[in-house]
Amino acid sequence: MTVFKAGFSRVDITPPLGVSIAGYFHDRFASGVLDNLEVNTLVVEYGSDKAALIALDNLMIIQKQMDEYRNKISAETGLPYESIFISCSHTHNAPLIGQDQLVETRFGDALYTDLLGRKLSDSVKMALADCQPAKMGYATGIAPNISFIRRFRMKDGSIRTNPGVDNPDIDSPIGRVDERVNVLRFVREKGPEIILANFGVHPDTIGGDLISADYPGFVRRETEKIFPNARCLFFNGVEGDVNHVNVHPTGGFKNGLQPMFDDVDRGYEHSAYMGRVITGAILQVYDKVKFTKPDCVKAVQITINAPSNMTEDPDELSLAKKYVDLHLAGKDDEIPYKGMELTTVVAESLRMTQLKDGPREFSLYLSGIRIGEIAFLGIPGEPFTEVGFAIKEKSPFDLTFPCALTNGAEGYYPTMQAYIEGGYEARSSYFKSGIAELIIDKSLNLLESLYD
């Protein structure tokens, strides 16, 4: 009789001080450590079919680098390449890996980039060795008031991302948040049980130059305090247009938050708060999950072709080059914008200059893992929440776990309406309008193929 099994591993990947930190449009170098970075790996097995779901404390890793890591893991463990699902948490306080997506002259520490590949392989080997017969339970909790739309229509009709707390010119948010927390429990015959949570919001609550896993690290630690005989993983969901910023705070919501350079309030204490709220969602459903004994493990990866968001207007390109040159020379004060508007213009200009010679089309991976009645859907970048809503609502599975920044990190995936409206995400996106709708359509096709 075939038995379903699950295994877990945890590997420390905290970098040495001095490494370049990814996440903003200026240099930061690690000067200390607030909390350790980790690779947490779940391996699931049914007969000869296996898959590794890897939760990695890092901002983002492009497809090319991810391919190197996945091929290495496959060669060293025997797992099929398509069954290796590496999802970055998107913490903005972790090392730059490989080459910077936008700034061609920025590279991460080569030794750490190589070490991370070795650590990823080790994590899968250890999780495979830890596999034990298990039953799986799943449910959905709610994490209220920690995720907020970050795109706003202003009173003058313009669209701004992160317009600032208590900005009197704000009219209304554009979009909706998904406060659902997908939860899995694997109760095993031997060893600790495994708890997995999936929720979508930017982990950019800290800032500065100290290494931290941000709120996903707090989710893991707080959950394991409550359940000492459990190990917890966190997978970030669809988070391209949501973050932690409540622009109309009341009561004590500002506690533990301080304003920073880009009109965003941040604080380590707030990161802890978010972790505790998500842990609370796990507690809501922990005892009432629907238990099953999965009868299959399947993996599928497809490639989709997405048109490039090239700009061929010579005047736009000339101005973009001017702004990029000023930015790289450290002269942001000569660019006539401030706060998040400055970040938007710099990101847009980098995108224009980066794509001035093409390519005209990108190849993007979509990754799917089926575990019995539930499925994981990996997207290589940052989709808007409407992408997550559509996938969850139309998926054939009982519960679907959409995961951003999985097996790649190729950019933002805004909706068609967002391209019309504007804002940081659409103006900086490498992809033409229609990309979000293409991802929804192809993701649902992938999920249908897994379900058959």
Secondary structure (DSSP) of 398-424: SEEEEESSBS----EE--HHHHHH--H
Query: How many Å from the N-terminal Cα to the C-terminal Cα in the chain?
Result: 22
Backbone angles phi, psi at 357, to 5 degrees: -110, 20
Residues 138, 140, 144: CA angle, nearest 5 degrees: 155
Residue at 156 is within a domain: yes
Same domain assignment for residues 273 and 320: no
Same domain assignment for residues 104 and 236: yes
Q: Are 113 and 96 in contact (CB under 8 A)?
A: no
> Do β-strands 132-142 and 290-292 pair in parallel, antiparallel, or remain unpaired?
antiparallel
Same domain assignment for residues 110 and 200: yes
Same domain assignment for residues 286 and 321: no
Residue 202 one-letter amino acid? H
Which residues does the chain have with pLDDT short of 50?
A: none
- The domain total for the chain is 2
Backbone angles phi, psi at 411, to 5 degrees: 135, -170
Is residue 294 classed exposed, middle or buried when 0-12, 13-18 and 19+ CB atoms within 10 A define those classes? buried
Residue at 395 is within a domain: no
Same domain assignment for residues 229 and 347: no
pLDDT at 100: 67
pTM (predicted TM-score) = 0.95
CA–CA dist 99, 90 (Å, integer): 16
Same domain assignment for residues 197 and 278: yes
Same domain assignment for residues 29 and 169: yes
DSSP alpha helices (H): ranges in 44-203? 63-77, 110-129
Residue at 416 is within a domain: no
> Do β-strands 210-211 and 32-33 pair in parallel, antiparallel, or remain unpaired?
parallel
Domain span at residue 347 reads 311-357
Same domain assignment for residues 320 and 259: no
Final residue before a domain boundary, out of 250, 267, 295: 295
Residue tagged 């009197």 (tokens): 168
Same domain assignment for residues 322 and 191: no
Residue at 428 is within a domain: no
Same domain assignment for residues 272 and 200: yes
Same domain assignment for residues 272 and 351: no
Residue at 427 is within a domain: no
Residue at 49 is within a domain: yes
Q: Are 427 and 348 in contact (CB under 8 A)?
A: yes
pLDDT at 102: 60
pLDDT at 26: 80
pLDDT at 98: 83
Same domain assignment for residues 221 and 326: no
Residue at 396 is within a domain: no
